[in-house]
Structure 1
Amino acid sequence: MKLIPIFSSFLSLTAILTCTSLPRKQNPVYKGCDMNFRLIQSQSDYQTKSFLYTTDPRIKVYQSKYEDLSDVSEEWIRAKQNGKYGFINLDNELVFAYDLVFVGDYSNGYAVYRDGKSFRDPKVYLDKKAKFLGDLVFDEAYTFRNGTALVQIDEKYGIIDTKGKFVLPTQYDYLTNFYEGWAVFKREEHQGLVNTKGIEKKFVHPIYDINTFYYEGHLPFNHYKKVGLMDNNFKILIPPKYDYLGQFKEGLIRFKLNDKWGFLDETGKVIVEPKYDTVYDFSEGYATVQINDKYGKINKRGEYLIEPKLDYVGSFKNGIAIAEENKKKGFITLEAEWLVPPIFESVNEIKEGIFTYKLNELWGFVNLRGCIQK
C-alpha cells in the first residue's frame, strides 16, 4: 500500500509506538492478514497528523478524512461530510450524495431516513436507488431485521415487511420486533406474545407485567421494581427478586442486585457472584466486567482472563475485541494480547472484513478482504 502524499515541508517522520499493560502478539495475524499496523506521524506548518500504514499489500487502507463513518452494511458505509450524510462503497467511492440530514445503515435493502433535524420529525424507508418504501410515513421507524421492522404511528406500534405491508397493524401500546416468530406486546388490558400471523398468546396475571423482550424461549417480567424470568408458556423459571435481568447468552444471564452485577444459570443458580459495578453478556466464552471505572474479562467460572485495568473492552467476535487504554483503542485477542495496539482515537469492530477508525479527529477505514482466509 502506498502512503498518501506528505507535504515536502514536513519536519519529522516517525512511527508512533505505544506502551501498554498487555503484551503485544508476536505474530499479529488475523485470518491470514498481517495486522502489523503502524502510525506514521508527519509535522508540517506547525500541525502534526498521523497516517495509518501497513506493509501487507493485500490490505487497503483509506486514510481518515470523514466527519463520521459507520460500520459496513450491505457493502456500503454511511459517511458524513459538511454536516450531511451520504454513502461510500468499499473502494472509497461516493455512491450516494451528501445531502441527507439523517439516515441509518442499510439493512434488508432499506435505511431509515429523516429529512428534518429533530428526532421527532417523520421517518420513511429509503432504498439504495433513493426511492421510498411506498408512501409510508411513520412517527418512528426502526431498522429492518430478518425482513420485518417495528414502526410507530400516533403512539401505536406495528410491524411491516420489506414490501411495505403490515404484518401487524399499528394497534399496540408496546411491541418488539419478532424473534423466533414471536414478539412481546401490550394492547389495552392485554399483554403477552404475538406471532407473525397476528395470533396472540395472552398472559393474564394480576400483578406481573411484561414490557421487555423475548429471546431464545425466555421472557423477563416485572413485579413492581423487581424482575424475574418466564419461558414462552409463561412458566416462572426465576422468581422476581432481581433489579435487572438480561438475556441468556452462552447459557448464562447477567443480573443486578443491590447495585452489583453477576451471572445466573438457567435454574437461577448464582454462577458468578454479584461483585461487579457492571457486566456484559458472555461472548466466545468471556464476559466484560467493570470495577471502579476499569474493565476486564472473566470466564464462566469467574476467573480473570484480564483483570480490570483497561479503560474499556468490548465483546469478543471471531476471537478479537476492541479495547482501550490511555485514551486510545486497538484490538485484543483471546490470549489477552494486543493484535493491534491502542493507536486509534476510536475504532469499530471488524465486520465483514472491514473496520472503520478515527485519527486526527476524522474517520477512515481498512479493507482486509484481500487477505482474509475463509
Structure 2
Amino acid sequence: MKDIYLFLCFSSLTAILSCSSLPVKPNPIYKGCNLSFRLIELYSGSQKNNYLYAPDPKIKVNHSRYEDLSDVSEEWIRAKQNGKYGFINTEDKLVFAYDLEFVGDYSNGFAVYRDGASFRDPKAYLDKKGNLLGNLSFDEAYSFYNGYALVQNDDNYGIIDTKGKFILPTKYDFLTNFHNGWAVFKREEHQGLVNTNGIEKKFVHDLYDIKSYFYEGYLTFTHYKKMGLMDSNFKILIPPKYDYLGQVKEGLIRFQLNHKWGFLDETGKIVIEPKFDDVYDFSEGYATIKIKEKYGKINKRGDYFIEPNFDYIGSFKNGIAIAEENKKRGFITLEAEWLVPPIFESVSEIKDGIFSYKLNNLWGFVNLRGCIHK
C-alpha cells in the first residue's frame, strides 16, 4: 500500500511539472537544505488527503491542521481553531489559548485584539502574558511600528508608544504613523507633517490635499482627483496629473493614467509606459505586472523577465517570490525557475526561516531554521 501512495505522489508532481511555464530548479537547495518536497496521498475510506513530506531531515514539516495560520512574528504564529484565535510557537506548541475573537500579529511586544464578535467592538493591545497595555481601548487600533501605534477614538486619530503614553493626542482628522520621524496629519483646516515631539510643519494650500505616508522623504498629494509628488519642504516634484501615484521604491514610482499602469522616476520622467492593467512596486530589481488577469515580471527597462502567464506572482524577498499556476502555489527564484513547484493550495512568504502552507483546506507550516543556522 505504501508503494501505491508514493506512486500517486510521484505521478501528481510529474503532471504539475510537465505543464509548468517555468523550469524546475534542479536539486533545489535553499540555505543548505534540499527543498524537494513531495505530496503523499493517503485515503481514509473515500476521503483523500495530501500530506507534505520533506526528504531532508533538517526540514521540519508541521502538518496542516489549523483553520488559519499567520506568518511568524516575534517567534509566535497566530493560529485559528474552532473559530477562535490563539498562538503557537515555532515548535508547534500552544502558547496562548484559543479564546480570542480576533487578534493581529505581535509587533513590538503587542498584538491588536478585539474581545467581541463584531468588528465595531473596542480594540486594545495585548502583551504575550495576556495583559492589556495601560488598560486602554479604542474604536480602532493599528499595529505597532518602530515603537509607535496609530489609534482612533470618535473619528479622531492619535499615536501611542509601547508604554501606553500618548505621543500625539487623538485630535487629528487624519494621521499616519511615523516614517522617517514624521507623520502626515490633517486637523481642521491645517495639514502637513508632525514629529514625535508634536511639532507641526504646516502646508498651506487651498487646493492640494496630502493623504499619504511620509516615505523616503516624499509625499503624494491630490488635486481634483489627480495625484502628484512633493518633498519634505512641500516643493512640487511631480505635478498632479496622474490617477494614482505610489511611493518611491528602488528609484521608481508606479502610476496609473487612463486606466493603465506604468512607472516614473523621481523627476517625473516616464520610464515604463502605462500599458499594464496593474503593477506592484519594484522589489529586488523586478516588478509584478498584470495583463488580462495574468501576472508576470518586468525589469527596470520594462522588459519581460517572466511572461504574464501566471494566476499570481508576489514580490521578490530574499530572492524568492510566491507564484500561482493552475490554482496551486509554490516559490520561484531570481533565475526564473521553480524553487518549490506549485503544489500548495496557498502558501505564505518565507519569513524568519518559516512559511505557512495550505493543504486539504487546512494550514500547517514548515520550519527551515535547521537549514539557515547550519
TM-score (norm 2): 0.96
**C-alpha distance in structure 1 between counterparts of 2:285 and 2:65, whole Å:** 37
**C-alpha distance in structure 2 between counterparts of 1:139 and 1:248, whole Å:** 32
SS at match of 2:129: coil
Letter in 2 for 1:81: Q
**C-alpha distance in structure 1 between counterparts of 2:155 and 2:44, whole Å:** 55
Could you say if the C-alpha distance between residues 10 and 117 of structure 1 is closer, same or farther in structure 2, counting changes exceeding 3 Å?
farther
SS at match of 1:228: strand
Letter in 2 for 1:128: K
Contact 2:322 2:331 in 1 (8 A): yes
In the alignment, structure 2 segments of 5+ residues that lack a partner are none
**C-alpha distance in structure 2 between counterparts of 1:183 and 1:173, whole Å:** 13
CA shift, 1:35, in A, is: 0.9
**C-alpha distance in structure 1 between counterparts of 2:120 and 2:2, whole Å:** 49
Contact 1:32 1:373 in 2 (8 A): no
Q: Does 1:200 align with 2:195?
A: no
Superposition pairs for residues 1-374 of structure 1, below 5 Å?
12-13=5-6, 14-15=8-9, 16-17=12-13, 18-19=16-17, 20-372=20-372
**C-alpha distance in structure 2 between counterparts of 1:133 and 1:368, whole Å:** 33
Could you say if the C-alpha distance between residues 267 and 321 of structure 1 is closer, same or farther in structure 2, counting changes exceeding 3 Å?
same
**C-alpha distance in structure 2 between counterparts of 1:303 and 1:282, whole Å:** 13
**C-alpha distance in structure 1 between counterparts of 2:2 and 2:362, whole Å:** 22
CA shift, 1:11, in A, is: 7.2
**C-alpha distance in structure 1 between counterparts of 2:187 and 2:44, whole Å:** 64
SS at match of 1:371: helix
CA shift, 1:44, in A, is: 2.5
**C-alpha distance in structure 1 between counterparts of 2:307 and 2:3, whole Å:** 42
Letter in 2 for 1:341: P
Superposition CA RMSD, Å: 1.3
**C-alpha distance in structure 2 between counterparts of 1:12 and 1:353, whole Å:** 29
Contact 1:295 1:309 in 2 (8 A): yes
**C-alpha distance in structure 1 between counterparts of 2:324 and 2:213, whole Å:** 31
Alpha-carbon displacement from aligned partner over 1:244-276 (angstroms, at most 9, x marks no partner): 000010000000000000000011000000000
Equivalenced residue count is: 367
In the alignment, structure 1 segments of 5+ residues that lack a partner are 1-7
**C-alpha distance in structure 2 between counterparts of 1:33 and 1:201, whole Å:** 52
Determine which structure has the larger helix proportion and give its number: 2
TM-score (norm 1): 0.96
My pick for the range that moved more, 94-103 or 8-17, is: 8-17
**C-alpha distance in structure 1 between counterparts of 2:143 and 2:110, whole Å:** 8
**C-alpha distance in structure 2 between counterparts of 1:341 and 1:12, whole Å:** 19
**C-alpha distance in structure 2 between counterparts of 1:290 and 1:84, whole Å:** 36
Contact 1:11 1:42 in 2 (8 A): no
Contact 2:30 2:371 in 1 (8 A): no
**C-alpha distance in structure 2 between counterparts of 1:29 and 1:310, whole Å:** 24
CA shift, 1:198, in A, is: 0.3
Contact 2:184 2:211 in 1 (8 A): yes
Q: Which runs of 4+ in 1 moved over 3 A?
A: 8-13
Identity of aligned residues (%): 75
Contact 1:310 1:325 in 2 (8 A): yes
My pick for the range that moved more, 20-29 or 81-90, is: 20-29
Alpha-carbon displacement from aligned partner over 1:72-116 (angstroms, at most 9, x marks no partner): 000000000000000001110001010111000000000001011
Contact 1:319 1:334 in 2 (8 A): yes
Alpha-carbon displacement from aligned partner over 1:180-205 (angstroms, at most 9, x marks no partner): 10000000000000001000000001
CA shift, 1:43, in A, is: 1.9
